[in-house]
Structure 1
């Protein structure tokens, strides 16, 4: 009897185990789990010990469409084990455990000690069909504890640093860059492999103001009082009416502006009261150009200006309770006949999204993401680059100063500008040619207008040979209809056709009909490069400035129309492939140039970006931003989050791109002139510590000698920081080497170095420039001091006087017009090179090492040839420095590696700074303990 009873139990148990085993396939690189619910497939792929790819589908098979952003293959060779029980399938590496619930398909990640890192909180697939292709609207939720902080996501310019409990729209716009990678304070990152428009956070569509209860000035419910007035005419009313929405978002919506209203002379106000239908934080989303100010209960919530043709985003929250009425006033001064404003609202975050981190994408074939773990943020970002590609080392000259403006119109403009820099001995490495160097009716010719540039090759040769200056040129993916290059591309089917069918004209002269090429087409990319090579690269062009790479085929179009303008792509519907145009465009130029001239480093600057761009030797600038102090303030967290998205090279238009009338109509005078000079001075002070150092913008001209006279504080400060940048070149280039070889990041949100100090998590206006410098930009007019935080756990030295202050405290630092507060971390070893006018002027045969006491320290000096790709083959050298604070010694390590032209002998000057012996940094000083170095290790006792 016992046997009879025992046998069925054994048989049932075996069958149950067999059934679950049958549902889990062990692949070469992971597990494929077959489920029976809404999610039918979940796959775990091991990339390495700390990176696991998760794919999921509601269908019987998971799509195998190749990734655009990943460079890792399917057989990585990583070691792992797996176990299966009645409820879960578990995959384990040396560092991670990933467990899949066999009922729900949800994944949990734990570290090697068994501590939970993150849990999935839900998956959703909504079937959709686009252009006959079956796709899904996708959503992936993750549980997120209250104390977590999030960074990255590209370059949203809303002024936010930490995206916890915030909503981020990942849509490519001019100045808004979408990169679907988030970095968590809990030492992990999520790389979301999807190319469509994506929302991080609340996925609900933005709603009109009518989603709240509205009351106008007269107490009538249902709308606000909208008054369309005439500026500078007191109490003028062109029209007054009730309005329940504020939505002049795109060109078509401007048709609803009251007929005959002179927007260029207008001022519009919306006034009344709002009451929420649900208590809690009400979320407001603004997109506006012109002047916009918003008050709630008399408190100014927003005060911004942008040029009419380029609206920018803002977000804010306001706690409100149902039954309460709150005064609302919006004031808009359009300034032009094409300006935009939109104010949308969302009620408090719904329960299903509370304590969650969410990605929601418009279209995709599957849920696909990489979970990346690390002991510290740099390791996580290095993991991101393991998946998407190493960040190529830029040519050394690209780390120097670039001069640009909108725009140099003739060959003489270019040469005379460089001549003036050399005459004044202002360091410079690159001059930039902006758009419209071609004949007016030949956009897309990829060639110079011979009337204004009679000898373009001779001009570039002179820049190289006489003035030791490099030449970057603006290149658009745009073609005017019927020019020869258009015909070539059109005949081969390489162009988007909708704007041609719709006869859309641009803003040049009489207006010309144009379109863009399809960068998703590999053959089109090769053809495009061939045109650049034939007419530009062959003349000696050094680098490429890729403008309007969102792609901005027709500015201020609706999203739906933008999709039509680039549909279909060679890979599929534009809805599915909306965001990565910049990635594919850069890919074509990078691959084309490397094939054409393999011994010259590619360098690309592009207005948009996407995950993986760093592998194509490409940097990004923050787009067409305003010349305002508040815009300068927003650049700081924008740049930090961009770099924390894994893309290390970033810059802004120093001074801002477009200017208010007070600065250029007529030339600024009096107080306006003083503000203009101070704005540029503060921006240069900040820009010197960005990964790339570049001035650009509309008139007034942006050269330092056109900003302020030589004897002014402003001029002298700008030149000081330019020279400081060049003296720091051994430090900066060493960090560029670390960025490629070790996955480092030059421009660093404070969390990256002080992640145990919770006080830094919200700080978006300070950052580390490499391991040594705490940079504290000044972004308020007439400010002569600024509050800042010195991170805990180390001491800090004021660069300018060498005085020491303990960390872990808030201070108010002096910020005279000619300086921003700069602090150096205790234990830092900072190499300063010779005083040079361009990066290739001379080898750093004498380097001054400033050693900051109070803690042990290290630094590795990296060098290579600076212009070619031999570093990829091991042609580089490093010298490790090690400071021992206890016995006050500095060890110069044995040189490792070699490259052609390497210095065999050099000198180091050692300057010690400590609490008892403050030493001011001095650009002109030739001080320090002189040591000869021949490549062998030596230890020096530092004299004080």
Structure 2
């Protein structure tokens, strides 16, 4: 066995090259293939924060984002992303590591992880510092990566498979309404599309004390059977792209996820109480009456919720324009003050579909920041482009002017699947409708199908 330490210089050993100052990433943080001295056989280069493997026409990065967190990204030598990740906020970490090589594998070792890459297939095995197997990519055909064109843009269709332990539990992928009570995903087959009742979070936590998060946003399918646990994605511009994080406890595993995606702030105490909502209060007098009744009856209510149509009708052009109907809500500030004086908070619903006759729509349209298809209820409203920084700036400017500045305490963001042609119960109809929107400010909706909720 030979051992190669990253020293900041360039050395040549058998098939491993140590490179100084090379990240293996482009300016957007995605895989960038480095030049190899020849096109024959297995090749491994040690990068600033990990290694890059070349095997069987595949280029594969294994990069440390922490002592027990690595990003694994493999494709055919080119990535087709135009923007950085919209999920991961952390950067590669300067984790001390060493590279060991045998005839069969290359090992990448940090203080807390051992990762072995098979030199024939590129498949990875993940172990803790003591050598205990955590999980592994399937030994044969662990990944299928096919370059395709969708909406005139190149991308990859991918599938990727892990070989799990027989008694291992896999938990996650969000709330999938087709399997609402089966929290262990072993033996399941799931379609991962954001719907009215389905929440897609492509992350798994294992009973073996590790987690995996795929940084992919398109339609996905998950299937676990005798062949392994496989995730398929329709459009993954970077190829197979996932983060592996391990820990001694489940808390440490979740900490790895939070470090990658950003710390979640603690909810305020008020959010932990009782909320009262119904299919809308029609006037400001009615919502105040209900709030006062709760206090009169000494019922411990923390929030009362104003649902839709406070702006006007579901058939006119005022849909979610961040405005109040002057006949039914003549004094929103006075209404909210009364609610606050009752030691109560107000939540209000807003939508990404914006009525055609509102100042918000007019300003968005100046920059072509609404999509053409009409909203299925109003028929006089269109979805705004939440993938545009300018679009979000305009949208939240009107939220502040029309709602927050009046005293509204919290926003209920409805219809963010994103709801276009239906109420978003059927995942296949949802995918069809979202793709009909065409391109957003970051690319086509095939590659950004699921994360509209994250962007708005």
Q: Please indicate the TM-score interval, normalised by the length of the shorter structure.
A: 0.7 to 0.9
1:43 matched to 2:65: no
**In the alignment, which residue of structure 2 is the partner of 1:474?**
349
The higher-RCO structure (CA 8 Å, 6+ apart) is 2
- State whether residues 385 and 441 of structure 2, in contact with CA within 8 Å, keep that contact through their aligned partners in structure 1: yes
**In the alignment, which residue of structure 2 is the partner of 1:439?**
312
- State whether residues 553 and 565 of structure 1, in contact with CA within 8 Å, keep that contact through their aligned partners in structure 2: no
Change in Cα spacing, 1:51 to 1:16, as seen in structure 2 (3 Å) is: closer
**Per-residue deviation, residues 814-860 of structure 1 (Å, max 9, x unmatched):** xxxxxxxxxxxxxxxxxxxxxxxxxxxxxxxxxxxxxxxxxxxxxxx
**In the alignment, which residue of structure 2 is the partner of 1:405?**
278
1:581 matched to 2:448: no
1:174 matched to 2:174: no
**In the alignment, which residue of structure 2 is the partner of 1:551?**
418
- State whether residues 144 and 355 of structure 1, in contact with CA within 8 Å, keep that contact through their aligned partners in structure 2: no
Change in Cα spacing, 1:558 to 1:60, as seen in structure 2 (3 Å) is: closer
Change in Cα spacing, 1:63 to 1:103, as seen in structure 2 (3 Å) is: farther
1:506 matched to 2:376: yes
Change in Cα spacing, 1:43 to 1:506, as seen in structure 2 (3 Å) is: closer
1:533 matched to 2:438: no
For these two proteins, the number of residue pairs brought into alignment is: 409
**Which residue of 14, 17, 28 corresponds with 1:18?**
14
1:275-354 counterparts in 2 under 5 A? 353-354=225-226
**In the alignment, which residue of structure 2 is the partner of 1:153?**
173
**In the alignment, which residue of structure 1 is the partner of 2:112?**
95
Q: Runs of 5+ in structure 1 lacking a partner?
A: 1-14, 203-352, 586-944
Say which SS state the counterpart of residue 445 (structure 2) adopts: coil
Once residues 356 and 197 of structure 1 are traced to their aligned partners in structure 2, the CA distance between those partners, rounded to angstroms, is 20
1:341-380 counterparts in 2 under 5 A? 353-365=225-237, 366-380=239-253
Change in Cα spacing, 1:505 to 1:397, as seen in structure 2 (3 Å) is: closer
Once residues 376 and 72 of structure 2 are traced to their aligned partners in structure 1, the CA distance between those partners, rounded to angstroms, is 44
Question: C-alpha displacement at 1:62, in angstroms?
Answer: 8.4
Give TM-score, length-normalised by structure 2: 0.85
Once residues 92 and 44 of structure 1 are traced to their aligned partners in structure 2, the CA distance between those partners, rounded to angstroms, is 11
**In the alignment, which residue of structure 2 is the partner of 1:187?**
209
- State whether residues 17 and 86 of structure 1, in contact with CA within 8 Å, keep that contact through their aligned partners in structure 2: no
Once residues 467 and 444 of structure 1 are traced to their aligned partners in structure 2, the CA distance between those partners, rounded to angstroms, is 27
Once residues 50 and 62 of structure 1 are traced to their aligned partners in structure 2, the CA distance between those partners, rounded to angstroms, is 28
- State whether residues 62 and 70 of structure 2, in contact with CA within 8 Å, keep that contact through their aligned partners in structure 1: yes
- State whether residues 348 and 408 of structure 2, in contact with CA within 8 Å, keep that contact through their aligned partners in structure 1: yes
> Aligned-residue CA RMSD in angstroms?
2.0
- State whether residues 418 and 434 of structure 2, in contact with CA within 8 Å, keep that contact through their aligned partners in structure 1: no
- State whether residues 56 and 62 of structure 1, in contact with CA within 8 Å, keep that contact through their aligned partners in structure 2: no
Once residues 108 and 62 of structure 1 are traced to their aligned partners in structure 2, the CA distance between those partners, rounded to angstroms, is 27
**Which residue of 494, 501, 504 corresponds with 2:369?**
494
1:118 matched to 2:135: yes
**In the alignment, which residue of structure 2 is the partner of 1:870?**
none
Question: C-alpha displacement at 1:92, in angstroms?
Answer: 1.0
- State whether residues 17 and 85 of structure 1, in contact with CA within 8 Å, keep that contact through their aligned partners in structure 2: no
- State whether residues 20 and 86 of structure 1, in contact with CA within 8 Å, keep that contact through their aligned partners in structure 2: no
Larger Rg: 1
Once residues 42 and 565 of structure 1 are traced to their aligned partners in structure 2, the CA distance between those partners, rounded to angstroms, is 34
1:569 matched to 2:440: yes
Say which SS state the counterpart of residue 94 (structure 1) adopts: coil
**Which residue of 133, 138, 143 corresponds with 2:158?**
138
Q: Runs of 5+ in structure 2 lacking a partner?
A: 1-10, 18-35, 37-42
Change in Cα spacing, 1:386 to 1:408, as seen in structure 2 (3 Å) is: same
Question: C-alpha displacement at 1:558, in angstroms?
Answer: 2.7
Deviates more, 1:441-450 or 1:525-534: 441-450
Change in Cα spacing, 1:81 to 1:63, as seen in structure 2 (3 Å) is: farther
**Per-residue deviation, residues 44-71 of structure 1 (Å, max 9, x unmatched):** 1111121111111112568684111111
- State whether residues 496 and 565 of structure 1, in contact with CA within 8 Å, keep that contact through their aligned partners in structure 2: no
Structure having the larger proportion of residues in helix: 1
Question: C-alpha displacement at 1:472, in angstroms?
Answer: 0.7
**In the alignment, which residue of structure 1 is the partner of 2:70?**
52
**In the alignment, which residue of structure 1 is the partner of 2:289?**
416
